[in-house]
Amino acid sequence: MTTSGPQFRTDVLTGQQVIVAPQRAQRPAANFQDPPLNHLLDPFTEGHEGETPDERFAIRVDNSEPNGPGWQLRVVPNRYPSVTPTSVLVSTTSATDESRLFPCRPASGEHDVVIECPDNRSRMVELSPAEIQQTLTAWRTRMLQLMLSPSLCSVAVFRNEGFSAGASLAHCHSQILATTELMPQDLARHARATQHRATTGRDLGQDLWDAEQTQGIRVIRETPCFGVYCPFASRMSWQVRFVPKQSQPLAFADASDATLQDLATLLKSTLIALEKQLGGPFSFNLTLSHPRIDQPAAFSWSLDLLPRTGRMAGWELLTSVEIVTVAPETAADKLRTAMGNAD
């Protein structure tokens, strides 16, 4: 498939639309450099454990004491949470809160920070595959803990690296945000996947991967555990999706150590290939799309790497439709070549 002119494309997983318009990449200043984040103010380095709340999970060496030095990775409550912890939530519902014109309700859940290394490295590509696997293991462990709460129904795992991706601290870290209600894209994925399974008896995400595999033009790499491709309706230029094969569990919490090891290696090699294509370090978001945790999984999880090479402007704010300036077919071709040369 070629993109001779701008195209509207729709993501079948969410219904979200994008415009793929490669010609807009020729605009002056279409690409820009991020301002650096402050490396001096870093409460996440080893020896500064008193500057964070007490850890909820940690990978430690030599039986070191909690909340002190001797760790490789820590999970702590976010000091500036986006939700009120369920343990301290006080109901504030009133007639005014339920107003038809001013709907309002408490935002409750749990918000964690995963501190991915004890030193002040700031880029995931600087972590070894073993260290990336530790991060994935921390996600899995914390997700298993959160699934025990009867009040939580949704969990979002994400990583913001660089100024344009929304990071406020340079130190390698990711976040886990569980909520007591489903977010709009959670609802969309669940509804579409449930309808697809009722109609076909199959998983929508896996059917999409099978179709990508058949076309081949957006596929980057395939391993025994994963398919890696640039989605047809990518939300951003150079977006890469990692999809577990049909033989893998639907829930990330059930992923095996071997699966996480494979994913860590793929993430590292993809980041290296993207740096080559983009000419150096770049901001990106890493997002884990996951089925709701209060019911049997309706679809399989997937991981998206979203480079932030462009900026949101008036059209995107007005329509919620992103404009993608590098066609997924072009991105996949270049990344296939870059990753093939690295083998």
pLDDT (mean) for 312-335? 95
3-state secondary structure of 75: strand
pLDDT (mean) for 107-121? 96
Give the pLDDT score at 26. 73
Average pLDDT, the chain: 92
Identify the DSSP state of 14: T
pLDDT (mean) for 67-79? 97
Q: From CA 53, how far away is CA 45, in angstroms rounded?
A: 14
Q: From CA 239, how far away is CA 231, in angstroms rounded?
A: 7
Give the pLDDT score at 21. 95
Angle at 270 between CA 220 and CA 132, to 5 degrees: 135
User: How many Å from the N-terminal Cα to the C-terminal Cα in the chain?
Assistant: 27
Q: What are phi and psi of 87, to 5 degrees?
A: -70, -20
According to CATH, the topology of domain 8-24+43-78+106-342 is HIT family, subunit A (3.30.428)
- DSSP for 158-181 reads EEEESGGGT-S--SSEEEEEEESS
The answer to whether the beta carbons of residues 186 and 299 sit under 8 Å apart is no
Give the pLDDT score at 95. 46
The answer to whether the beta carbons of residues 175 and 109 sit under 8 Å apart is no
Q: From CA 285, how far away is CA 196, in angstroms rounded?
A: 28
pLDDT (mean) for 157-175? 95
> pLDDT grade, residue 306 (50/70/90)?
very high
Burial of 99 (0-12, 13-18, 19+ CB in 10 A): exposed
Identify the DSSP state of 123: -
- Relative to beta strand 108-115, strand 84-85 is parallel
Model confidence over 289-304: pLDDT tens digits?
999 999 999 999 999 9
pLDDT (mean) for 184-197? 95
Q: From CA 239, how far away is CA 306, in angstroms rounded?
A: 5
pLDDT (mean) for 270-294? 96
3-state helix, strand, coil in the chain (%, to 5): 30, 20, 50
**Helix (H) and strand (E) counts for the chain?**
6, 14
Instruction: Write down the pTM of the prediction.
Output: 0.93
